[in-house]
Structure 1
Amino acid sequence: MDHDLDADALTALGHPGRLAVFRLLARRAPHGVRPSEIAEALDLKPNTLSAYVTTLTRAGILTTWREGRSVYYGVDLKRVGTLIQFLVNDCCRGRPELCEPLAARSLERLAARQAGGTRNILFVCSGNSGRSQFAEAILNRNGDGRFRAYSAGTRPGRRLNPEAASVLAAHGHDTGGLAPKSVTRFEATDAPRMDCVITVCDQAANEDCPPLPGLPLTAHWSIARPSAVEGADRAAAFAAAYDAIEARVTRFLALPVETLDALALQSALDAIGATRAAGKGA
């Protein structure tokens, strides 16, 4: 093991700005994020972001690639995994008071899945007035009792978006009990424990929210913000967002979740999220 490289990685992460960039990209992993989006989310000047990314890349933590004309930054998950192994196995020497709490939470989650029963899925977007409500309604109706879906917002609105409500009603959903709520509701110790937390908008995925209890799996399914569309195309944008979410939920329901281990389920969730809907938005 190259301890010099490990030291470089820890040094790179020891700066608050670089750590913020890394944490944002880790929340979006395994997908990449454009520099302009990172700069906007973290309120960074382009030259500052460039300096941060250069240091993190030299330390082996980040990777850069192109898709067409766009540049993307992403976390090198294999390298980060090696760094974590170094911290646990070498620096901490496997001490139970440090390592066993993490292992216990992982085993608790695995045992709960293998025991069967309903699995809790939380969908998160910024306002919780449209896209995440679509996902909650679709999964609860089509999940055949295998799942219990919830939704929340990082900055919840005051009411369900009327255009979203119209789309839900057109698809036969009862909107009477749907209302925006904060993701902080699910941080409480007495809140339902989530098996998976799925963000459905880039803005929510970019925000620095604390992890929920129980160490749930996380994934990001980017769906364009329909309320950003103006004029005659606005209704079509809401309909398209519903269709995109329904397609992803359908793929999720086809998974043999009851028999998949955590790594296989995470890979499947990431693969579903890799299918980008037309357009972009928060």
Structure 2
Amino acid sequence: MELEIPNRLATLGHPQRLAVFRLLMRRYPDRVPATELAKALGLKPNTLSTYVNALMHAGLVSQERVGTSLRYAIDMDAARETIDYLLHDCCRGRPEICHPDALSTANRDIPMTDRKHNVLFICTGNSARSIFAESILRDLAGDRFEVYSAGTKPRTDLNPFALEVLKQKGHDVSVLRSKNIAEFQGPDAPVFDFVFTVCNQAANEECASWQGQPISAHWGLPDPVKVEGSDAEKSLAFHQTYGALRNRMIGFTALPLASLDRMSLQRAVDDIGQTKEQGPST
């Protein structure tokens, strides 16, 4: 341990290796293809390979081969061990010394209260997936959640196929609009209890930390906007995305928020993000 932790910290001291580590942390528990990592970070494949090999040698990242693709994920046990070492050694076991806001609204040992929670869904364009998530959760449990959505690079208009699916499912689309994530990062923005990314590109991007330390998870789904073919084929892709998100919202709303501690709730929302995509919702 005395040598292992300093080696990990030295490995993370390199800016680009740290960037790989941080991206994989944002995508946890996903295993991210090497090609996607390289594209997201603007790295050549051989350069990325050097960085991930160093992280693997330090025990911070694991590798898995899927067909011809190499995929990488954070070794969360090692990451927690390293962070715990810093908290106990450098902060004398009191994280509030090093980060005054760390326990202010998100104490790991305090169960979520039975109040109305603020939830934000993020994707890149805020024209389909995050709009679906916003609409579904609002209609399933609007009495328990205040629901918002935003995009890192929002489109001007909502996708017409997405709007048509929402109308067919009986959602009120008049309240929907495309919004920039910056709208929710100012001093007057809501303090979020949950922040979910629903596309890989948005999860791969750097975002400012959220006040209040919300529980966050990646619930990535393929972008139906990119599906090519006939209108019927495109419509089917949007219906499938809607169905997958609705299933995840049903799982989320079934969680006993008031009785779960923060760590258990984090594991639960991570698990929901790993559920397989479903067919069209009826």
Displacement of 1:189 after TM fit?
A: 2.1
> Could you tell me which residue of structure 2 aligns to residue 266 of structure 1?
266
Displacement of 1:61 after TM fit?
A: 0.8
Contact 1:224/1:277 (<8 A) preserved: no
Residue by residue, what CA displacement relative to the aligned partner does 1:208-258 show, whole Å, maximum 9, x if unpaired? Answer: 111211100111111110011112211111111111111111111111122
Matched AA of 1:45:
K
Aligned pair count reads 276
Matched AA of 2:181:
V
Structure 1 position 12 matched with structure 2 position 11: yes
> Could you tell me which residue of structure 1 aligns to residue 50 of structure 2?
51
Residue by residue, what CA displacement relative to the aligned partner does 1:77-128 show, whole Å, maximum 9, x if unpaired? Answer: 11111111111111232465325542334239947x32x2211111110000
Q: Once superposed, what is the RMSD of the aligned Cα atoms? A: 1.9
Structure 1 position 92 matched with structure 2 position 91: yes
- Structure 1 distance, partners of 2:158, 2:268, is 30
Contact 1:223/1:276 (<8 A) preserved: no
TM-score, normalised via structure 2 length: 0.93
Matches within 5 A, 1:80-229: 80-94=79-93, 97-98=97-98, 100-107=100-107, 110=110, 113-114=112-113, 116-229=114-227
- Which protein is richer in helix relative to its size? 1
Query: Relative contact order, CA 8 A, sep 6+: which one is greater?
Result: 2
Matched position secondary structure for 1:151: strand
Contact 2:4/2:58 (<8 A) preserved: yes
Structure 1 position 36 matched with structure 2 position 38: no
Displacement of 1:64 after TM fit?
A: 1.0
Comparing 251-260 and 199-208, the one that deviates more: 251-260
> Could you tell me which residue of structure 1 aligns to residue 238 of structure 2?
238
Q: Mind listing any 5+ residue stretches in structure 2 that lack a counterpart?
A: none
Contact 1:224/1:278 (<8 A) preserved: no
Is the alpha carbon distance of 1:33 and 1:278 closer, same or farther for their aligned partners in structure 2, counting shifts above 3 Å? farther
Contact 1:189/1:213 (<8 A) preserved: no
Displacement of 1:58 after TM fit?
A: 0.7
Is the alpha carbon distance of 1:165 and 1:24 closer, same or farther for their aligned partners in structure 2, counting shifts above 3 Å? same
Matches within 5 A, 1:237-256: 237-256=237-256
Is the alpha carbon distance of 1:34 and 1:171 closer, same or farther for their aligned partners in structure 2, counting shifts above 3 Å? same
Q: Mind listing any 5+ residue stretches in structure 1 that lack a counterpart?
A: none
TM-score, normalised via structure 1 length: 0.93
